[in-house]
């Protein structure tokens, strides 16, 4: 078996993402054959070297799990929470260690991917991969064509300029506008902050697609395994 980078070995095992693996390595929590290694690029041989994190052996995961979940409101998309709020991991209930690919905020719903494939997670969440994400959004406030035009071109929030996006008006009832919003990035609470910039409040936000992967009729709180074609599609995206 060929040698690979230490951080890649850890992420491939499903233990964590490559980014988090880097932090573990830099913090001196990873050993190779009993010796602390602080270089993420250190070469290890999966068939011979013994890698451990905080004394716990890391074993290469051969059978990766890929799941689509319809996230409900009031669930966090991290494994643990300081306020002891329920996690999306609780909804899946598998014994295998899996974790979300990216995030949906606490009050948002819709399509969320979970996997133990750390390498795929790293690539899908890396800023250089512009995979479109489609959301159904309900906004309350005075939202006119001029504001939508500014949002689609990109605006400054939190010290950065958002990338151009697509916004289509689906309808309006009693000062609530229903929109389809497609963005190619996913910063923290980005869509909510985009509309708040113009004094418009997002009252509902649901992700319905990631690229060609669609939520479809999957019920709220339920999950399913991705098909082989869907997994292949994700890997082709990167």
Three-class DSSP category at 148? helix
In this predicted structure, the answer to whether residue 221 has a pLDDT above a threshold of 80 is yes
* 105 carries an active-site annotation: yes
Q: What is the pTM of this model?
A: 0.78
Strands (E), the chain: 4-5, 30-32, 35-36, 43-44, 51-53, 56-57, 66-71, 99-100, 109-115, 133-140, 156-157, 160-161, 166-173, 176-183, 201-210, 213-214, 223-225
Q: Which of 192, 174, 79 is nearest to 135 (CA)?
A: 192
Tell me the C-alpha distance between 77 and 60, whole Å.
25
Q: What is the pLDDT of residues 41-96, one digit of tens each?
A: 999 988 789 999 999 888 766 678 999 999 999 999 987 777 889 999 999 988 88
Mean pLDDT of the chain: 91
Quickly tell me which residue has 């993402």 as its tokens: 17
Q: What is the pLDDT of residues 143-200, one digit of tens each?
A: 999 999 999 999 999 999 999 999 999 999 988 999 999 999 888 899 999 999 999 9
Residue 1's pLDDT band (cuts 50, 70, 90): low
Provide, rounded to the nearest whole percent, the portion of the chain with pLDDT above 90: 66
Least confident range from 88-92, 121-125, 135-139: namely 121-125
Q: What is the pLDDT of residue 96?
A: 81
In this predicted structure, the answer to whether residue 109 has a pLDDT above a threshold of 80 is yes
Cβ-based neighbours of 82, under 8 Å, separated by 6 or more: none
Residue 16's pLDDT band (cuts 50, 70, 90): confident
Q: What is the pLDDT of residue 235?
A: 84
Task: Retrieve residue 123's tokens.
Answer: 């690539």
- Once rounded to an integer, what is the mean pLDDT over residues 119-135? 85
Q: What is the pLDDT of residue 61?
A: 61
Q: What is the pLDDT of residue 53?
A: 93
Catalytically annotated residue among 105, 158, 212, 229: 105
């Amino acid at each position: 078996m060929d040698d690979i980078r230490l951080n890649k070995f850890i992420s491939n095992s499903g233990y964590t993402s490559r980014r988090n693996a880097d932090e573990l390595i830099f913090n001196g929590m990873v050993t190779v054959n009993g010796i602390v290694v602080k270089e993420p690029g250190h070469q290890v041989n999966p068939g011979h070297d013994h890698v451990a994190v905080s004394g716990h052996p890391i074993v290469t995961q051969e059978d990766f799990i890929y799941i689509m979940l319809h996230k409900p409101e009031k669930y966090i998309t991290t494994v643990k929470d300081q306020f002891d709020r329920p996690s999306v991991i609780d909804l899946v209930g598998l014994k295998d260690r899996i974790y979300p690919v990216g995030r949906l905020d606490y009050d948002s719903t819709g399509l969320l991917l979970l996997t133990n494939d750390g390498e795929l997670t790293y690539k899908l969440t890396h800023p250089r991969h512009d995979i479109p994400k489609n959301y159904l959004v309900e906004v309350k406030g005075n939202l006119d064509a001029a504001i939508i035009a500014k949002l689609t071109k990109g605006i400054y929030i939190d010290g950065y300029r958002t990338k151009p996006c697509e916004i289509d008006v689906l309808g309006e009832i009693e000062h609530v506008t229903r929109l389809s919003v497609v963005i190619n990035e996913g910063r923290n609470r980005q869509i909510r902050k985009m509309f708040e910039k113009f004094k418009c409040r997002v009252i509902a936000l649901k992700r319905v697609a990631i690229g060609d992967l669609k939520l479809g009729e999957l019920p709220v709180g339920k999950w399913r395994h991705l098909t082989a074609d869907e997994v292949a599609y994700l890997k082709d995206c990167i």
